[in-house]
Chains A and B, each alone.
Chain A
Amino acid sequence: MWVVWIILVLMSAKTSAHPTYVRLGYTSCTGCHVSSQGGGLLTPYGEGIATSQALISAEPEEGESESRYVQAFQGRLMRYTTEDETRTFPMQMDYLAQFKITPTVWLNGILAVAPKPKDESPEDAKSPYQRLYGREVSATWSLRAEGSKEDRLTVGIGALPLGVGLVDHTAYVRQENRQYVTDLPITLKYYFARESFFGHAFAYLPNPQEEAGNEESGHGLQTWWRPLRPLAIGVQGLQGETDTIKRRQAGMLVKAGHGRFAYLGELNRTWRELQSDKSEFRQWTWLQQASFYPREYLHLYASLQGLERDRTFLTRERREAVGFEWRIWAHITLMFEHRVRVAGELKEKSQLLQLYFNGF
């Protein structure tokens, strides 16, 4: 098994998202990523940047022509430590692929293995094969890509284009905003970019893989305005409905940076209405992250995420974290995060150590 891992690591290429690269003038994701939402597969340019920005860096070789089939593997090995326990486990394993039917039409796929539940009983145990699911199964049509103007249509299963673009399972705000409804519906997304603004408009239907009750339909918009080169200000909104609940969400976003510093911010208000008795509850969520890059391959950050809800069990929670991401090689990133979770009287400390592998 380890031989396979090592081979995959040796063949890999970086696939994470860096919204903090706004400090270097990158506000939209499409320069480096195949997906307009960032994360996942990299373009040849993105691979070149990742290769040249690691501790063990190399001069990437210029390809003669772009390959029609691009694939990658990404995996996350995590060590989680609290006062009560220490666990080491594979957190994420994805196979990512893009197939270009023509230069402007392509298929996207991410086949993922869901992590093994912590408290899984032996009788409910599932093999990795049984835990496979499609995190992305979509087709994209690039309508225009000239200069600063870009238009794309994407249809299929995939994540909603919301938030500041932190692709990480630790995106707590994203999780709390959607609560139990799926993050991977069947979506029609329109991506647009112009000189000083860009964003996504989207409409979505339930994913058939989703459990009943979590099947949400809706539509939304996220748009960013770039008044200055190292600054992007965004707004987002969503209206969705399941059999039991309606939700509306509105949010403000910011990405800013200069030189070795970057700042990400997000503030969301969500209104939920129970279909049964028309009762309402509301919530605030927020995220702030300040980043410092002493070297290109070393990212130090401090983040604050929070939640405030006026109904249901948990009403207030805050998560503070400090951490680093150390890109040792283009293919390997070591991450550490020390977290403090404060929920009412409860104060819980934990540490996460992750080794992130990616690509073929």
Chain B
Amino acid sequence: MFALILCLSLNAQAGVAKIDFVASTNVPGVTVEGAASNVAVDYDPQKAIGTVVELDVFQLLTGMEKRDQHLRDKVFAAKKEGDAKIRFEVLEMPATNGELKGKLLIKGVEHTIAVPVKRDGSTVTGSTKISLDKFALPRPSFMGVKVDDAVEVSFRITE
């Protein structure tokens, strides 16, 4: 009974996020695309401020196992799950469409960022560009192809 109550109370505030990213490179025709799906979020549309989206870099998948490994090793220096996490905490959330503000923490480097978002009921979508250099992350390269500094990140959070 206790477990059922606990489960229901967790579900009452549980949300899910999908995060996509696209990194352009110095070579035309080559972009690196990836996503983290089903990221658990403590999200309540009535009280969105304080919502935290946290994911392990092992959740970032690009469709190629080798590329995922490079991403973890070369960009995040993560050897195993738990070594590197990305955390975003909502500070300001517009009631409708507008600008969301929050703290983005990647591998110990934190910056406040503003992201234009759209709110449709309990769903929030938005996209922004993140500078790798700003978060002290190296720009990965592979056989002459080097990722640009700005990585386009888009997300969708639902209840």
Contact = CB atoms under 8 A, between A and B. Distances in A.
Interface of A: 23-32, 43-45, 47-49, 52-53, 57, 60, 62-63, 66, 145-150, 193, 198, 229, 259, 296
B144 A28 contact: no
Contacts of B145: 31, 45
Interface stretch (B26-34, B75-83, B101-109, B126-134): B26-34
Contacts of A44: 143-144
Contacts of A47: 143
A60 B32 contact: no
A198 B28 CA distance: 11
Contacts of B142: 45, 48, 62
Interface in B114-159: 141-145
Contacts of B1: none
Contacts of A48: 142-143
Interface residues of B, number: 19
A57 B69 CA distance: 14
Contact of A193 (B22, B29, B31, B33): B29
Given A45-B143, A45-B144, A26 B29 contact: yes
Contact of A149 (B28, B30, B141): B28
Interface of B: 22, 24, 27-33, 62-66, 141-145
The A interface, classified by DSSP as helix, strand, loop or mixed, is: loop
A63 B142 CA distance: 10
Contacts of B62: 24
Contact of B66 (A27, A52, A145, A148): A52
Given A24-B63, A62-B144, 12 more contacts: A24-B33, A25-B31, A32-B30, A43-B27, A44-B144, A48-B143, A49-B64, A52-B64, A53-B66, A145-B27, A148-B28, A259-B63
Nearest to B142: A48
B143 A60 contact: yes
A329 to B, nearest CB: 15
Given A52-B66, A60-B143, A296-B65, A25 B32 contact: yes
18 contacts: A24-B33, A25-B22, A25-B31, A25-B33, A29-B29, A30-B29, A45-B27, A45-B30, A47-B143, A48-B143, A53-B66, A62-B141, A62-B142, A62-B143, A63-B144, A149-B28, A150-B29, A259-B63
